[in-house]
């Protein structure tokens, strides 16, 4: 009985627990949004790197075949031999064309409006335009 009484006397009071909970809530309110913003920035960086990787694969395709894939052929031609003369792929290391960081297909157009080809992702919102994480990521900027 004596040990139990000593344990209760050395425990935290309800006021101390409430103060700790309020401090943790304030800390989460300040740090949480900053961390969430970093997640969005890192997804955008992944998309930029994937667009660069796809651009390198498209350049290899062009070197072998003499042209970029057409819009109708799309990016899947980098992985699938469709009987094109001098095709020497697959041109990507993995067995599929990657999806962007938000799980959607990359947009591809050749000939492009901004270069020999245009390659882009619509960002987190999946729509043209946007700011921050919702901004489009493309091969021509």
Is the Cβ–Cβ distance between 106 and 69 less than 8 Å?
Answer: no
pLDDT surpasses 80 at 10: no
Please name the helix (run of DSSP H) or strand (run of DSSP E) that holds residue 138, with its range, or none. Answer: strand 137-138
pLDDT at 133: 82
- Residue-wise pLDDT for 12-57, tens only, equals 787 888 888 888 877 777 776 666 656 556 888 999 999 999 999 9
Domain ranges of the chain: 38-138
* Measured CA angle at 102 (ends 43, 80), to 5 deg: 105
Question: What is the percent of the chain where pLDDT is above 90?
Answer: 48
For residue 92, pLDDT beyond 60? yes
At the topology level, CATH places domain 38-138 in: Glycoprotein, Type 4 Pilin (3.30.700)
Q: How far apart are CA 55 and CA 68, in angstroms?
A: 10
Average pLDDT, rounded, for the chain = 85
Query: Do 106 and 51 meet the contact criterion of CB atoms below 8 Å apart?
Result: yes
Distance of CA 60 to the CA centre of its chain: 24
Do 77 and 84 contact (CB within 8 A), yes or no?
yes
């Amino acid at each position: 009985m004596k040990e139990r009484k000593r344990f209760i006397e050395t425990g935290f009071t309800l006021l101390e627990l409430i103060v700790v909970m309020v401090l943790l809530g304030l800390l989460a309110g300040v740090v949480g949004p900053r961390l969430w913003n970093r997640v969005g920035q890192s997804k955008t960086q992944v998309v930029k790197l994937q667009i660069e990787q796809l651009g390198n694969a498209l350049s290899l395709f062009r070197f072998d075949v003499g042209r970029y894939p057409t819009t109708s052929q799309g990016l899947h031609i980098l992985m699938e031999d469709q009987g094109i003369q001098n095709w020497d792929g697959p041109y990507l290391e993995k067995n599929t064309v990657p999806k962007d960081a938000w799980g959607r297909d990359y947009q591809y157009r050749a000939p492009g409006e901004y270069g020999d080809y245009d390659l882009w992702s619509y960002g987190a919102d999946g729509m043209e335009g946007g700011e921050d994480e919702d901004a489009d990521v493309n091969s021509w900027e």
